[in-house]
Structure 1
C-alpha cells in the first residue's frame, strides 16, 4: 500500500521518468518528476489503463513527497481520478489515512499505466519531446475525426 504522503514509481519505469525530466543536464520535456507522473496518470486515465506497481524504485526517483504535487496544484488531479474511479464521495475525506492511501494508490496505478504507454511510444526515440508532441497530435487528430459528421454513411 502507498506510504502516506508519498507517490511511488515502479522500478521498471524509473529510467523513463528520469529521461523525461530536464534535470541533471537531460533535455526531457518535463521540469520535475511530479510533472512526469501527473502527465502519465492523465494518459493512463484517458486510456483506462491502471497497472499495479510491482517493485518500487528506491533510488532516483525515490518516492515523491505529496507536497511536490500540492504546490503545483496536482492534488486536484489525484482527487478527480479517485472520485471518477470509486464513484464515492467518501474517497475525498480529509484526514482519513485509509482514503488518502487509496487515492494515492489509484493515482500511482494510473501513472504506471501511462508510463507503460509512454515506454512503448518512446521506444527507439532520440528526442522525447518530439515524440510526445507526435503522441499528443495523434490523440488530437483521432478526436477531431470522431467529431466529424460523415454524410457518406447515408449513401448506398
Structure 2
C-alpha cells in the first residue's frame, strides 16, 4: 500500500498558504490596474473639450467623471477527490483422480493456486477563482477639485 500512502502525503501537502498569498497579490495588482485606468480616463476627460455656446469646457468641468471600481471579494475554491482501492484474489483448484485396474491402483492429484493483489489510485481535481467588482463614486478630493474648477470656469 506504499503507492496509496505516497499519494495521500502529496495531497495533504498542497500549498494552500501559497495559493492564498497569490490570490491576494493578484487582487492587489488588479486593483492597482483598475485605479490607473480610472486616473488615465480622468486625464483624457480633462483634455477633451466641448464647445457650449461661445465657451469651451472639458468633460470634467461639465460633471463627467471616470468610473472607479473596487474588488469586494475574491474566492479561490479547490476540490480534490481521490480513490484508492486494493483488491486481493486467491484462487484454488484441487483435482483428484483415482483408478483401479487389475491389481493396480492409480491416483493423481492436481493443485492449481493463484494469487493476485491489485492497487488502483485515481485522483480528480477542480478549481475556480471568482472575484466581485463594484462601482464606486469618485474619491471625495477629486469631487471637490472638480467642483472648484467648475465654479472658476462659470465665473
User: TM bucket by the smaller chain?
Assistant: under 0.3
Q: Which has the larger radius of gyration?
A: 2
The structure with more strand, counted as a fraction of residues: 2
The structure with more helix, counted as a fraction of residues: 1
TM-score, structure 1 length as denominator? Answer: 0.21
